[in-house]
């Protein structure tokens, strides 16, 4: 027989079990942050600032969360309007250095070379030029010239080099111009300056046998007016043009003073 006292004890026990088995409220990290901030502000007597709430999905909303695209889900979880970081264009990365062969060559050590040569004229107004192979193997027609040796003046170098490469002994009668250009070797870049002179024929016959470097393949006499069509290098054609211009100006000056 169950007495009223037994019934009260049973009901009390059931109530205690129900209270113990009741699910505890879910506390999110955002709730903990708010509680911590509120407690800190109360202790420091500070004013609470506005906090943007980001609503979290419940278990019932998990299907809806996974049903959309990542961009849609990010927009759903944000409580403020505007572009989500996932929808913004990616930040432009710093451009990587562009590589060009001509620019890479600038990292090579630079050396300077000095040469001299020029136009040697015979009594008929012809000019001695030579044929030599370029670095790429092509046969090119050019003016005789070469490196300035230690202790030489540019004029002395011009006389020596023209004699070695053409067999003609000349005498410097005028200075024309100095040209400079760059070229790249396998281990360095070269800045070359070449002094050009006008020389008159003194003696000798055309020959390349005296070239100690064996660079000259042939030597010929060419009419001065034909140099522009025969010389391979534009800067040497310009040397011929500059000399013609200088000679023409000198001729006009002499006629004026006559």
**Residue for token pair 């250009």:** 181
What would the mean pLDDT of 50-54 be, rounded to a whole number? 36
Which pLDDT band holds residue 135 (cuts at 50, 70, 90)? Answer: confident
Span 205-228, pLDDT tens digits: 999 999 999 999 999 999 999 999
pTM (predicted TM-score)? 0.58
Q: How many CB atoms are located within 10 Å of the residue 157 CB?
A: 21
- Between 11-15, 183-187, 233-237, the lowest mean confidence (pLDDT) is in 11-15
For 211, phi then psi, to 5°, come to -75, 110
| Residue 7 pLDDT | 60
What would the mean pLDDT of 70-99 be, rounded to a whole number? 41
| Residue 45 pLDDT | 44
Span 185-201, pLDDT tens digits: 888 899 999 999 999 99
CA atoms within 13 A on the CB side of 26: 6
pLDDT > 70 in the chain, percent: 60
Is a pLDDT exceeding 60 seen at residue 91?
no
Ordered by where they begin, the domains of the chain are: 110-256 (3.90.79.10)
| Residue 194 pLDDT | 97
Q: What is the DSSP letter of 53?
A: -
Is a pLDDT exceeding 70 seen at residue 96?
no
Q: H-type helices in 47-141, by residue range?
A: 62-67, 70-77, 101-104
Calpha distance 155→245 (Å, rounded): 21
List Cβ neighbours of 21 (8 Å cut-off, separation of 6 or more): none
């Amino acid at each position: 027989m169950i007495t009223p006292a037994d019934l009260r004890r049973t009901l009390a026990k059931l109530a205690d079990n129900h209270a113990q088995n009741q699910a505890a409220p879910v506390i999110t990290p955002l709730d903990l942050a708010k509680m911590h901030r509120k407690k800190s502000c109360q202790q420091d007597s500070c004013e609470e600032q506005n906090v943007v709430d980001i609503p979290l999905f419940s278990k019932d909303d998990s299907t809806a969360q996974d049903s959309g695209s990542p961009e849609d889900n990010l927009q759903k979880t944000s409580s403020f309007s505007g572009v989500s970081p996932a929808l913004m264009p990616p930040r432009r990365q710093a451009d990587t250095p562009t590589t060009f062969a001509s620019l890479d060559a600038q990292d090579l050590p630079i050396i300077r070379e000095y040469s001299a040569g020029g136009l040697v004229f015979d009594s008929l107004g012809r000019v001695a030029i030579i044929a030599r192979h370029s670095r790429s193997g092509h046969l090119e027609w050019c003016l005789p010239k070469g490196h300035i040796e230690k202790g030489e003046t540019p004029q002395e170098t011009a006389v020596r080099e023209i004699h070695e490469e053409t067999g003609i002994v000349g005498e410097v009668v005028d200075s024309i111009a100095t040209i400079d250009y760059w070229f790249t070797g396998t281990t360095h870049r070269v800045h070359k300056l070449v002094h050009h002179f006008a020389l008159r024929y003194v003696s000798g016959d055309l020959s390349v046998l005296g070239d100690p470097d064996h660079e000259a393949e042939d030597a010929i006499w060419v009419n001065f007016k034909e140099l522009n069509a025969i010389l391979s290098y534009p800067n040497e054609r310009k040397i011929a043009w500059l000399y013609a211009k200088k000679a023409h100006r000198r001729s006009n000056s002499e006629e004026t003073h006559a």
